[in-house]
Amino acid sequence: MPEPKSRHPVRAGLDMLYNVSGAIGAVSLVVMLSTIVLQMAARWTGHVFPGATNYAGYFMACASFFALAYTLNHGAHIRVSLVLTRLGRFRRLGEIWCFSIGTMLAAYFAYYAIKTTYWSKKLHDISQGQDATPIWIPQLAMCVGTVVLTIALADHLFRLVFFGETELTSETIKDHYSE
């Protein structure tokens, strides 16, 4: 029986980063649902849950940003597969171009997300709702999520350029949707 091929520690670490990011996104969805249910229960019993709508929105944003890298790593993002299949033997160049543009855009977005959060903290900016939450706290999810997405896109680009493959092949995506 052949011994299983061990994964490189960096590969295992990156995969764990993407999975942890996805798990945080999933937990955020559950917390968002719980917040909405608590708000409904409070309303039915005549109590007030100040800022519940804002908290639900914060957790929705948290779920969205943390799930980006996980979703990319599992081939569930909308891709340009139709165009890439038409490229024939130039498909690899098309994928490199797509991952390059995606990585640059994600890095640009991450930079400005971090910059925005920095200034929100520095200026003591608070939310406009009843909760009066320092706005940099929910913005941290945007920062971390976009940085992890940038890492994931750069990871796929690196694997495509230097190893000629990435896990995001049309077969992987087809298998993902046929389950």
Half-sphere CA count of 145, side-chain side, radius 13 A: 25
More confident residue, 103 or 172: 103
Residue 130 CB partners (closer than 8 Å, separation 6+): 50, 51, 54
Strand partners, 126: 134
- 76 and 176 Cβ atoms separated by less than 8 Å: yes
Which tens digits make up the pLDDT trace of 142-156? 999 999 999 999 999
Which tens digits make up the pLDDT trace of 53-80? 999 999 999 999 999 999 988 877 676 6
Kindly write down the DSSP assignment for every residue of 53-69, as one continuous string: HHHHHHHHHHHHHHHHH
- 141 and 116 Cβ atoms separated by less than 8 Å: no
Which tens digits make up the pLDDT trace of 7-46? 788 889 999 999 999 999 999 999 999 999 999 999 999 9
**Could you tell me where the DSSP H helices lie in the chain?**
9-44, 52-73, 81-86, 91-122, 136-163, 170-178
Q: Diameter of the chain by CA atoms?
A: 66
Closest CA to 145 of 24, 56, 34: 24
Strand partners, 134: 126
Which tens digits make up the pLDDT trace of 82-135? 777 788 888 888 889 989 999 999 999 999 999 999 999 999 999 888 888 999
Q: Is the pLDDT of residue 175 over 60?
A: no
Residue 163 CB partners (closer than 8 Å, separation 6+): none
d(CA 1, CA 168): 29
Task: Fill in the DSSP letter of residue 126.
Answer: B
Q: Is the pLDDT of residue 178 over 60?
A: no
Domain spans in the chain, listed from the N-terminal domain onward: 9-178
